[in-house]
Amino acid sequence: MSQHRRISAPKGTRDVLPAEHLVRSRILETAKRVFDEAAFGQITTPTFEDTELFSRGVGTSTDIVRKEMYTFDDAGGRSLTLRPEGTAAVARAYVQHGMSKLPQPVKLWYVAPMFRHEAPQSGRYREHWQVGAEAIGSQDPLLDAESIAVLAELYRRLEVPDVRLRIGSMGDEESRGPYRALLLEYLEARRTDLPEDAIARMSQNPLRLFDHKDRDVIAVMAEAPLLADHLGPAASEHQGRVFEALLALGVDYEVDPRLVRGLDYYTHTVFEFTCDRLGAQSGIGGGGRYDRLVADLGGPDSPGVGFGSGIERITLALGDFDPSPAVDCYVAIPDDGLRAELLAFVTDLRRSGLRVETDLRGRSMKAMMRHAASLGARWVVIVGPQEHEEGVASVRDMESGEQRAVPLARVAEVLG
Ligand code: HAM
């Protein structure tokens, strides 16, 4: 036994092993196709950014900025933060590269790891991956509907089961100011019913009390005035047009006047897709409109809308994966003297597009056959000393059990 301490992956992080990667590839290939079809271009932003981007973009009252960011000073004394979410970074890139001069809206999608120091549990990690999209430079409610429909289409093509969509509105500044005052007045009157952390949260952002998990808070919030009942005419109209467009697109949704999202940049539409199979962490994807974000980051007045969906959660929702065979063909060389020479034959077969494995561990013929079966090989190509001398291989079809001699130069063609 080794005397060294065994090192595990840090708490809340996980390794993605080959079987899971097969599912992940399918998710990413499907996402790429859906985004391509809807005219989104791909963007990759750095894994870390200036800390101020997130404190200003995501908001200082959010859990993400208050307690979940991985922030460090680099050797040059700059405060940097591992990206906790993608929207602020894409908005930063939009401003930095003068994208407001391009035809609007600019539509971008990404796949990237996100870092949040949360309490880990199934479906909630300290490093998770998101596939997401942002469309910046238009206030048209049809763009909200299109974003939602693109994400719904991704889930549809992936056949994610039991997905539901909830939509709410955060209103505009005109609606939110007076509503906030009304909500605070209500909460002040019920102050004695609230636990201390809810009172602290209340002064920072009273709307966040709608997603508080405490039973007393839930009871207080059940009777609280709703923003949905206090939307100004512009916000109401925006919401109505989003609903109309979703209807026309055939996207089912439920209106949820209590829907709040954990990021401060939202205005107007907010939405969340949930999947009942996910248990406590049922949010499979979410997003909304952010009309002030780009301007808050020093850019022009460019309203936008987007979403992010957790790849681990999509994978969990898809359930157990059926590992497909790892190889098409197994080359068995039951003669040690020939193994090195025949590696070139293995390479040729691989170049023909077949997935090929051979023994690289000095197995006996019997063990090689077991190895081939465990990899799910459809064919075993045996090249022993006699075959080698005759310039042929014995090709065995593992399904039918038939075996026949094929000239070495023709094996790829026969199996292809
Ligand atoms: P979010 O709701 O914080 O939104 O995250 C989006 C999705 O990422 C969630 O619905 C969930 O599937 C996944 N997710 C979040 N946190 C974790 C975690 N700790 N472990 C595993 N999966 C997680 C955003 O990040 C916004 N940037 C979305 C957006 C884009 N809004 C507008 N544009």
CA distance 229 to 245: 21
| CB count in 10 Å sphere of residue 73 | 10
Can you read off the two tokens belonging to residue 131? 């596939």
CA distance 405 to 394: 5
| CB count in 10 Å sphere of residue 159 | 10
CA distance 416 to 414: 6
The verdict on the CB of residue 59 being under 6 Å from ligand 1 is: no
The verdict on the CB of residue 258 being under 6 Å from ligand 1 is: no
Residue 255 CA to ligand 1 center (angstroms) comes to: 20
Phi-psi sector, 123: left (phi>0), alpha (psi -120 to 50), beta: left
* Nearest atom in ligand 1 to 124's CA: 20
Residue 280 CA to ligand 1 center (angstroms) comes to: 15
Mutate to test the pocket of ligand 1, among 109, 128, 272 (most ligand atoms within 8 A of CB): 128
Q: What residue has token string 């791909």?
A: 42
Q: In what order do the strands lie in the sheet with 79-82?
A: 48-50, 79-82, 71-73
The verdict on the CB of residue 128 being under 6 Å from ligand 1 is: yes
Max Cα separation, the chain?
Answer: 94
The verdict on the CB of residue 125 being under 6 Å from ligand 1 is: yes
Residue 75 CA to ligand 1 center (angstroms) comes to: 30
Angle between helices 311-318 and 141-158 (to 10 degrees): 40
Q: What residue has token string 């991704």?
A: 154
Catalogue the E-assigned strands of 220-348.
254-255, 267-275, 283-290, 304-310, 329-332
Note the pLDDT tens digit of each residue in 73-120.
999 999 999 999 999 999 999 999 999 999 999 999 999 999 999 999
The verdict on the CB of residue 302 being under 6 Å from ligand 1 is: no
pLDDT score for 321 = 74
The verdict on the CB of residue 137 being under 6 Å from ligand 1 is: no
**Cβ(396)–Cβ(379) below 8 Å:** yes
Backbone angles phi, psi at 387, to 5 degrees: -60, -45
pLDDT score for 324 = 75
**What DSSP character marks residue 124?**
B
Can you read off the two tokens belonging to residue 250? 């055939």
The verdict on the CB of residue 115 being under 6 Å from ligand 1 is: no
- Confidence tier at 195 by pLDDT (50, 70, 90): very high
Going by CA atoms, what residue is nearest to atom 30 of ligand 1? 307
The CA distances from residue 6 to 9, 12, 16, 126, in Å, are 10, 17, 19, 21
Of all residues in the chain, what percent carry a pLDDT higher than 70? 100
CA distance 196 to 334: 74
* Burial letters 227-246, b for 16+ CB under 10 A, else e: bbebbbeebeebbeebbebb
Residue 322 CA to ligand 1 center (angstroms) comes to: 27
Note the pLDDT tens digit of each residue in 229-286.
999 999 999 999 999 999 999 999 999 999 988 899 999 999 999 999 998 889 999 9
- Confidence tier at 169 by pLDDT (50, 70, 90): very high
pLDDT score for 91 = 98
Residue 54 CA to ligand 1 center (angstroms) comes to: 14
Going by CA atoms, what residue is nearest to atom 9 of ligand 1? 285
CA distance 68 to 117: 4
The CA distances from residue 305 to 141, 144, 291, in Å, are 10, 6, 8
Average pLDDT over the chain reads 95
* Nearest atom in ligand 1 to 84's CA: 25
Going by CA atoms, what residue is nearest to atom 25 of ligand 1? 85
Can you read off the two tokens belonging to residue 139? 């206030």
Mutate to test the pocket of ligand 1, among 264, 313, 314 (most ligand atoms within 8 A of CB): 313
CA distance 221 to 337: 78
Q: Is 127 exposed, middle or buried (0-12, 13-18, 19+ CB in 10 A)?
A: middle
Going by CA atoms, what residue is nearest to atom 6 of ligand 1? 308
Q: Whole-model pTM above 0.85?
A: yes
pLDDT score for 416 = 85
Phi-psi sector, 129: left (phi>0), alpha (psi -120 to 50), beta: beta
pLDDT at 184 over 80: yes
The verdict on the CB of residue 134 being under 6 Å from ligand 1 is: yes
